[in-house]
Structure 1
């Protein structure tokens, strides 16, 4: 079988699932979308969302993921036609419950479309970007008018931390193409917010985040549950790590050292390295160049106040505070949930297994960038965040119908569950390590 392209005979070719599932390697990838089989072995390298997603769905039905990631399916379909190699033979004994979940979820999406929930508010997103610029100006003007004493510095750091944290939620909107109909304008604003206002890499974020959404909390597929051997998460990873003789951390203490190396250092140390390492390794020089304008901007604006070393310290403190903000919010929705191997669940079950919500309030909405509606965001990643609460009752109703647990917590409860889950995973590792190595 060739890689890509198709002949007249291949158009009507009937391909059984047993054959499709064999094509799931890095160099040989077939996926199924709407009962059509596509050979994406070569095309995956050109995929705008990254080749990794193609690998995560190789040998699987990617119909639901395709539907939720692509806004303009007609435009995308013209790229798909040349790599279509046939039709899938229906499974002899399809899981009726899974098929019913998929059918109902498709109907829910139709309801969301009829309610115009995929239509963004220009006023809302103008205010979001406007408040970023406002706080950035306020951070500088506080020092300009009141000097560099402790109190003005504290307020300036606070304002600039707000800019960085809220810019993180805002770039997320543009990255998911949920602000403009035009992909081009989403990408332009994404670069402005992510590269210029935050000093981070667009390509790095897309590489990680698209994988996360395609297979959330799936071992060896979601990069967010690969934590560089510093933490073990869920129930399965601790056991596998315990069986490895190269254990380098006392994971039974991870719920304690989390406070020292998790929230404080993720952004100013690990992310700071990765935002440059990723685009440089892929020679994405435009990404690197626009990022550098952020650091040049910071030096030009703040060196007259603090000098070079003082400006570096100012920046480090801001990143530490931002890191706390991001880690507690982002991890509260995922770490306490199930982390498992890929079981090829339907989209709704896949997302609910890996996400939970936090109660709605004006503060929670702002503080989390509306990611307190993480379930709804994962179900409909291109839906503008200001509409997520509107679809939530429908998602809850669908989950209730199919016996899928829908979790919604208080903000404090969600934060507390991070530590509890780390402690539980650490205990699993310790018990398994003792039994495995000291039989």
Structure 2
């Protein structure tokens, strides 16, 4: 159900409807029904958000929002920091058209103290130091070296495509190429590289759609929502992988309801329960299939007439060129197999091995970013500071030996500074190491949990969390 912001929440509302209205902050915030993740478009209540002590009704704008369904995650909330983190200055002009009133003068947030205020000030300091400006030489080097990995993979096939060892070695380099394409397209889609967004989108289309085979629009539709509500049960798509992998006990409720009451799923209750009960054993095998799944989802997303199965939420607008890009990706990939691998069984070996390697290398890093960290209910998220939520749900990865930190940075594509990335999503990755310690010290000052660990220990934490949920499912059963 949508938030119930009624006329009783409005103070001193002008009868001629020509002037701005005055709202109480608590009434707008409490109006959100935390237990619901669906929004009923047939109902006629306003969908209000708060930004800089001003109130905006986004109901009529939701379906036109360029960022897709992510806007729904902040109905009834103070979206000040979320808005400033994810939008360019030009977005404020659009926002002005949605303005409906102000927060009452005695209810405005004007405090100059606290974690959020210090972090805002720190962000401005980083901007003054040039930390939000990218090195074009750095990204040119990254793109060219990554294309050289593809060259190595194809060269091995040209020379040794008739041997199993050559096919397997080439598959490994192809998987590494896809992984690094993922990190680079991630940077461009966060507009970290160019000031003009169109050039970021062009590079993301080349690296993401043509090279990697993932739809940029599909990725942004998921990833924007993840950034707005990390690890929030019922909102963050990155933890909505039940029953393939189940990250919290909240997701277990449907396993033990009657079949008439259970939510729709492509899996039978018996299969779902089996997967959850033994998910620590299935974890690594499942990761090998991640890339194939993401490629299929990308194709479905860009196909004309595609519609979400779960909700009627608005989705990210799709550039028609994306379908062409995905076709080109599979064209060059299968043509390479056809030209340089003479035997059918070796061609199949290359296909499955390269796909599995790509899925494993991407998801090993991807899962460490947030999975196994604190899961929030919508109500907990609603009552938590936006920046604090980014910190407590994220995990930074460091090298056990500082001398090899560069290896972790390269392999993880900068995502090992996950907390810093969530606080400053448009900051280029090559600046994260400059701000990491300052962020950690600020979190310690305000007793906000800041988690750093090694790749192996982080993976152990992930497996431990899967085991805890698995054990809970056994008890419920």
Q: Name the TM-score, length of structure 2 as normaliser.
A: 0.83
Q: Which of 212, 215, 219 is the matching residue for 1:201?
A: 215
Q: Which of 228, 240, 244 is the matching residue for 2:257?
A: 244
Distance in structure 2 (CA, Å) of the matches to 1:210 and 1:267: 20
Q: Deviation per CA, 1:160-180, whole angstroms, max 9, x where unpaired?
A: 111101101111001101011
Distance in structure 2 (CA, Å) of the matches to 1:94 and 1:84: 18
Distance in structure 2 (CA, Å) of the matches to 1:315 and 1:11: 64
Query: Do the aligned partners of residues 409 and 279 (structure 1) sit closer, same or farther apart at CA in structure 2, a change above 3 Å counting?
Result: same
Q: Which of 113, 119, 133 is the matching residue for 1:105?
A: 119
**Are positions 1:326 and 2:362 aligned together?**
yes
Q: How far did 1:90 drift? A: 5.8
Give the structure 1 partner of residue 314 of structure 2: none
Q: How far did 1:232 drift? A: 1.9
Give the structure 1 partner of residue 451 of structure 2: 407
Give the structure 2 partner of residue 59 of structure 1: 76
Distance in structure 2 (CA, Å) of the matches to 1:91 and 1:325: 52
Query: Do the aligned partners of residues 254 and 178 (structure 1) sit closer, same or farther apart at CA in structure 2, a change above 3 Å counting?
Result: same
CA contact (8 A) 1:15 1:86 kept: yes
Q: Which of 156, 169, 190 is the matching residue for 2:204?
A: 190
**Are positions 1:356 and 2:381 aligned together?**
no
Superposed CA RMSD: 2.6
Give the structure 1 partner of residue 291 of structure 2: 267
CA contact (8 A) 1:216 1:222 kept: yes
Query: Do the aligned partners of residues 162 and 40 (structure 1) sit closer, same or farther apart at CA in structure 2, a change above 3 Å counting?
Result: same
Distance in structure 2 (CA, Å) of the matches to 1:288 and 1:108: 41
Q: How far did 1:383 drift? A: 0.6
Q: Secondary structure at the match of 1:337?
A: coil
Q: How far did 1:120 drift? A: 0.5
Give the structure 2 partner of residue 143 of structure 1: 157
Taking the TM superposition and a 5 Å limit, the aligned residue runs for 1:358-397 are 358-360=397-399, 361-397=405-441
CA contact (8 A) 2:54 2:103 kept: yes
Query: Do the aligned partners of residues 12 and 324 (structure 1) sit closer, same or farther apart at CA in structure 2, a change above 3 Å counting?
Result: same
Q: Secondary structure at the match of 2:273?
A: coil
**Are positions 1:253 and 2:272 aligned together?**
no
Taking the TM superposition and a 5 Å limit, the aligned residue runs for 1:78-117 are 78-89=93-104, 100-117=114-131
Distance in structure 1 (CA, Å) of the matches to 2:19 and 2:446: 36
Distance in structure 2 (CA, Å) of the matches to 1:284 and 1:111: 36
Q: How far did 1:243 drift? A: 4.1
Q: How far did 1:8 drift? A: 9.3
Query: Do the aligned partners of residues 35 and 311 (structure 1) sit closer, same or farther apart at CA in structure 2, a change above 3 Å counting?
Result: farther
Q: Secondary structure at the match of 2:288?
A: coil
Distance in structure 2 (CA, Å) of the matches to 1:77 and 1:168: 30
CA contact (8 A) 1:299 1:308 kept: no
Give the structure 2 partner of residue 37 of structure 1: 55
Q: How far did 1:299 drift? A: 2.2
When structure 1 is superposed on structure 2, of 142-151 and 294-303 the one drifting more is 142-151
Give the structure 2 partner of residue 279 of structure 1: 302
Unpaired segments ≥5 residues, structure 2: 6-14, 34-38, 260-268, 308-317, 400-404
Q: Secondary structure at the match of 1:14?
A: strand
Distance in structure 2 (CA, Å) of the matches to 1:92 and 1:147: 70
Q: How far did 1:252 drift? A: 2.9
Distance in structure 2 (CA, Å) of the matches to 1:275 and 1:403: 40
CA contact (8 A) 1:11 1:87 kept: no
Distance in structure 2 (CA, Å) of the matches to 1:10 and 1:109: 38
Q: How far did 1:237 drift? A: 3.0
Distance in structure 2 (CA, Å) of the matches to 1:308 and 1:30: 61
Give the structure 2 partner of residue 4 of structure 1: none
CA contact (8 A) 2:398 2:453 kept: yes
More helix by proportion, 1 or 2? 1
Q: Secondary structure at the match of 2:56?
A: strand
Give the structure 1 partner of residue 372 of structure 2: 336
Report how many aligned residue pairs link the two structures: 423
Q: Deviation per CA, 1:192-212, whole angstroms, max 9, x where unpaired?
A: 100110111111101100000
Distance in structure 1 (CA, Å) of the matches to 2:245 and 2:470: 8
Query: Do the aligned partners of residues 313 and 154 (structure 1) sit closer, same or farther apart at CA in structure 2, a change above 3 Å counting?
Result: closer
CA contact (8 A) 1:34 1:63 kept: yes
CA contact (8 A) 2:174 2:354 kept: yes
Query: Do the aligned partners of residues 145 and 188 (structure 1) sit closer, same or farther apart at CA in structure 2, a change above 3 Å counting?
Result: same
Give the structure 1 partner of residue 91 of structure 2: 76
Q: How far did 1:235 drift? A: 4.2
Q: How far did 1:285 drift? A: 3.4
